[in-house]
Amino acid sequence: MFRNCPDPIQLSAYLDGELSERRWLKIGLHLQKCSACRDKLAELEQVKKLVAQLPHRPAPEIRITAQQSPPKAAGKRWLWASCLTAAAVLLLVFFVHLRQPQADDVAGEYLRIHRQYEQQLAESIELLEEVEAQ
């Protein structure tokens, strides 16, 4: 390889046609006059072909029924958990509202609980998404 040879990573991308047109042209011109890069390219191409030639084996049968879906069931549990949490917090807010006559206190308490509720809900949703994403 010479001083003005492209990075071999670029040669690999050239092989895959994954370069901008400008870069692709530039490397193409370089390849015409550099046998070292042509050899490198040929090596990469050979490896690529060997992997591409691996046979695609037939897949097993997939058995899916609605009952057979544990992640979904887990997801539903989390959904229920978040619904129950939401309901419990709403009840609590209502209870606090009844108990506290001073308007300022009620507003402050309401805000605090509301934020807590939002955080809990966000956590539940995160967990649900994790379960689904797995």
Partner 1 sequence: MSLISLIASQKIGDDEVAFQELVATYRRPIYNLLLRLSGSVQDAEDLTQEVFLKAFAAYGRFRKDSSCYTWLYRIAVNSFRDHLRRKGDGHLLLYEEPQGGDCVEGQLEQKDLELTVASALLALPIPQRLVVVLHDLLGFSYKEITQIAGVSLGTVKSRLFYGREALRKILSSRSAER
Residue ranges of E strands in 58-113: none
Partner from Zn ion, partner 1, none binding residue 5, C-beta < 5-8 Å depending on class: Zn ion
Q: According to CB under 8 A, which one of 22, 60, 102, 104 is a site residue for partner 1?
A: 60
Give the DSSP letter of residue 34.
Answer: -
Q: Is 63 one of the binding residues for partner 1 (CB under 8 A)?
A: yes
Within positions 71 to 100, which residues make up the interface with partner 1, using CB under 8 A?
Answer: 71-72, 75-76, 79, 82-83, 86
Q: How far apart are CA 50 and CA 80, in angstroms?
A: 51
Quote the distance between the C-alpha of residue 43 and its chain's center: 34
Residue-wise burial string across 115-128, b where 16 or more C-beta atoms lie within 10 A, e elsewhere:
eebeebeeebeebb
- 106 neighbors 100 (Cβ within 8 angstroms): yes
- 90 neighbors 103 (Cβ within 8 angstroms): no
Using the contact rule CB under 8 A, the part of the chain among 31-39, 89-97, 111-119, 125-133 near partner 1 is 125-133
Residues forming contacts to Zn ion in the complex (CB under 5 A) are 5, 34, 37
Residues forming contacts to partner 1 in the complex (CB under 8 A) are 8-9, 11-13, 16, 18, 43-44, 46-48, 50-60, 62-64, 66, 68-72, 75-76, 79, 82-83, 86, 121, 125, 128-129, 132-134
